[in-house]
Chain A
Amino acid sequence: MTVLGNLCLWLAFLVGVWGALAGFVGGVRGQPELAQSGRHAVFAMCAALLVAVFSLEWALFKHDFNVEYVAAYTSQNLPVFYTWSALYAGQKGSLLFWATVLSLFGSLAMVFTARRHRVYLPYVAAVVCTVAAFFISVMLFAHANPFQRLPYTPLDGSGLNPQLQNPGMVFHPPMLYLGYISITIPFAFAIAALLSKRLDVDWLVAIRKWTLVSWLFLSIGICLGMWWAYVELGWGGYWAWDPVENASLLPWLTMTAFLHSVMIQEKRGMLKKWNLALIIGSWLLSIFGTFITRSGVISSVHSFTQSNVGYFFLFFLIAAGTASFALYATRLPLLDAEAKLESMVSREASFLFNNLLLVGIAFSVLWGTLFPILSELVQGTKVTVGPPFFNQVNIPLGLALLGLTGIGPLIAWRRASLPNLRRQFAVPATVGAFTLLVLLVGGMRDFSALMAIGLGAFVLGTVVQEFARGAGARHRQYEEGYALALGRLLARNRRRYGGYIVHTGIVILFIAFAGMAFKTETEATLRPGESVSLKSPYGWTYTFTHLGISQYDALNRQVTAATVEVYRNGKKTGILTTEKRQHVDALGRPTFQPSTEVGIISDVREDLYGVLAGVVGGTEQAVFRFTINPLVWWVWYGGMIVALGGLIVMWPGGTPAVKRSQPGYAVRLVGERK
C-alpha cells in the first residue's frame, strides 16, 4: 500500500503544479479551457490525496511496522480510536492531512461557489493548488514522507504518547487544522480579487461563509486545546501562553477583526485595504502557526524532532508573504474608500477601535512569542517573556475590547445622537454599574476581575435588551407569542442575533478567565488517613483526606490510583481519583515516561483539581497537589455558546443581501440578485 501512497503523492504534486500554472495563466489570459483544467486539477489532486490518506490508514490498521510512521506512532495494543487518529499524531502524517483537507476545501469551493462569483475560481484553484503542492513537496523533498519504509521490521511500534491518548486530543488537532487550513480559501479569493481587479464588495460576499467556517473551527480547536491541557497536563490551568497556543490564537484574533470590519465595507464601502490586509495576514499567520508548531525555532517545552521542514516553511512564508503584499501594493489605487468617517460616536468608529485592539493584541502576542529570537538578534542575549507579560499587556486591552463589545452593536451608524445613546445604553450601563456595586459590597477587590464582570454585565444587558426589543416588536406587529417571536427573530436575522449569542459566549469566557484570579493551591505529602485543608475563594474550607493507593493493570498501562475523600466545611461532597499511569507495550515493558491522570470535581462555582504527584516507594504515602479553580466550568460552556452562535450566523439561508446605507447603491444591487 505504501507504493500506492507514494504514487498518489507524486501524482497529487504534479497535478497541483499543473493546476497552479493552468489556473493562473488561464485566468490572466482569459483562456477558458486552461482555466477549467486548473479547476479540475483541484478535484484530481483531492482524489489522489484521499487515496494516499486511505493507504496510510490501511498501513496503520494493518500494524505494518515496516512503515516508519506506523512504527513511530502506534503499537499492537493501541486502542483503535487512537490508531485512527495517529494519522495526524506526527509531523509527516499531519502534512498529509493538511494537504488533503486543503484540496477537499478547495473542491468544495469549486462546487459551491455561486455562479456570479465563478470568475474568481481559476485563480482560487491556482492558489489552492500552489499551497497544497507546497505541502506535498515538503513530504517528498524534506524527508517527511509518511510512507517511508524502514530497513527492518520492528516487532511492535513505539506507541502513541500517553498524553495524546485522550479524547480531547483526537478532536483538538483536526479542529485546529481545519481552522488553519480553511483560511486558505478566503485568502485564495482575496488573491483572486486582486489579480482579476474585481475588488468591489462581490468577493467579500463570496467568502463570507468561508471566513466564518475557519473562524468557527479555530474557536472550537482552541477551546478543545484548553480542555485537553486542563484535564491532561495536570498543571492546574488551561492556558499557559505557550508559543504553540499563541500561534493558534493569532489568526483567530485577526479573523475576528476581519469578521467585524467586513461589515463596514459592506455597509459603507470603507476599509477595503484594511480588510484585504487582514485576510492576507490571517493566512500568513496560519502558515506561521504551522511553522511554529512544526519547526521548534522558538524554544518552548515542545522542541521538535530535528528536520529541515522548518526551513521549507520559513522559505514558503517569506516567499508567499512577499508575493501577496507585492500584488496588494500594485492594487492599492483600486481600493480607495467610498465614504469617510463622519463621527467618532458611531458604529464605524467603534468597529475601527475594536479592530485596532484585536490587531494590537495579536501584535503583542506575536511580539512576546518571538521575543527570545528578536532579543537574541538585537542584543546577543536571549530574553524570554512568559505568562506575566501576556497577562499584563492583554488584560487591559481585553477589557477595553469587552467594553466595545457592548457599545459597537448598539451605537448608530454614521453619527449617533445623544437621545440614541441614552435609549440604547441607559439600561445596560445601569446593570453594569449595579453589578459592580454588588461585587464591591460583597468584598471583591481584584481590579481586573471587577472590571471583567462589571463590563460583562453591561454587555449582557445590551444583548438581553436587543433580544427583548426585537421580540417585543414582533409580538406587537405580528401578534406572535413571545417564544415564537424570539425564535423567528433569531431565525430571520441570523447574522445579527447569532452575533449577539457569540458575544454572550465571549462575555462568559471573560468572566470565567477572571475567576482564575482567585485560584488557590496547596501541596501535601499524606499517609492514608491524613488530610490537608484548602480555603476556597467563596470562604468554604475544603478538606482532602487520602484514603489509600490501589494498583492494577489496564489494556496498555499499569495504573497507580489514589483515592481522596473531599469534605466541604466538614460535610462530605465527593471522591477524587487521581492516577499515575505507566504505559507498557504488548510484552509488558514500559514505554514513555509515566503520565498523570488528574482528578476533577467540577461544578458551576469551582473546580476541585487533584494531582497525584508521586508515591513514596513501597508505601502508601503520597504527594498531592490540590487546586481550587473558580468558574472553570464556564470556560467550556462559554466556548460552546460561542460555537453555537457561530453556527447560527453561518447556517445557510436567512441572510439578507448586502444593503448599504448609501444612495446610489441600488443600481449595483440589481446586478447582484440571484
Chain B
Amino acid sequence: MADPLKHHGRRPVHPLDDLLRTDRMPHIWCPGCGIGTAFSSCLQAIKASGVAIDKTVMVSGIGCSGRGAGYARMDSFHTTHGRAIPFATGMKIANPELNLIVFSGDGDLFAIGGNHFIHAARRNIDMTVICINNLNYGMTGGQVAATTPYQARTTTTPLGNPETPFNLPFLAWAAGATHVARWTILHTRDIKESIVRCLQRKGFSFIEVLSPCPVNYGRRNREKPLDTLAIYQNMTVIKNGVSPADATMDMKKGIVLGTFIDEDRPTWQDMYDRLYRKE
C-alpha cells in the first residue's frame, strides 16, 4: 500500500519542521493539552517576525511547559525550576544581540519564580515571556498553583482551593512590564501576532496563554476537554487596551483577553548604557 504521507515521491515537510527538534518527537505533552498549540503559535511567530533564528534563544524552567525549550531547534536552555528569567537576564545582558524568549508555565514563572518575574518586569529587560497557564502543576500530577481558581480541586486541595489566585496581566503591569497580553489556545492567530509584536519591540513583554490540562485539572473539576475549550470560546471577551486591573478572569463570569499594555520605556540596557558607558 502506498504511504499516505508520500506525495510526489517525498514525504511532506511540516512548515515548522526547521524550527522543531523533530528527532525528539513524540513530545511529552498529554492528549488534550494546550501547550503544543501555544508552542506552534510561538514557532510560527518566530518565523513570521523575521528575527535571526541563530540569534534567538529559548529558555525554559521546569514543568510541562518548561519542556518547550527542548523541542525548539534553536539555542535552547532548560534551566532550574523558576529560574528561566534570571538565566535569560544574564544571557541578554552579557550579549545584548541575542533575542530572548522565555517559554514556561504558571507554576514555574509565578510561584517559585515569581520574584524573578517582577524584577525582570521592573527592570524592563528586553525579553519575551510566554506563560502557559493551565491553572495547576501538571508535571507532578495536578497540585494547587498560584493561579488555581478559588475552590478548584487539585490533589493538594481535595476540598477546594482556599486561596485567591494571581491575575497575571495585572501583576505584570504593576511590576512594570511594557507589553502585557492574555489569550487562550483557541486564539492561535492572536497568540502568534502578539508574539511577533513582542519579538519586534524592545522591552519586557508578557503574554499569558490559557491552556487546558484535562488530565490533571479538568478531570478533578468536572471539565471535559471540550468543556474547557467551550469556556475559552463562550466566556471570553477581547478588550484590547483595557486596564490590566480590569482584565478579570472568572470562569463563570467571563475572561478578558487582549493586548492590554504596549508602551515604550527605556530598557535596562538603555539605562545602563546611558549612565555607565559615557564615551
Asked whether A and B interact, the reply is no
Residues of B within 8 A of A (CB): none
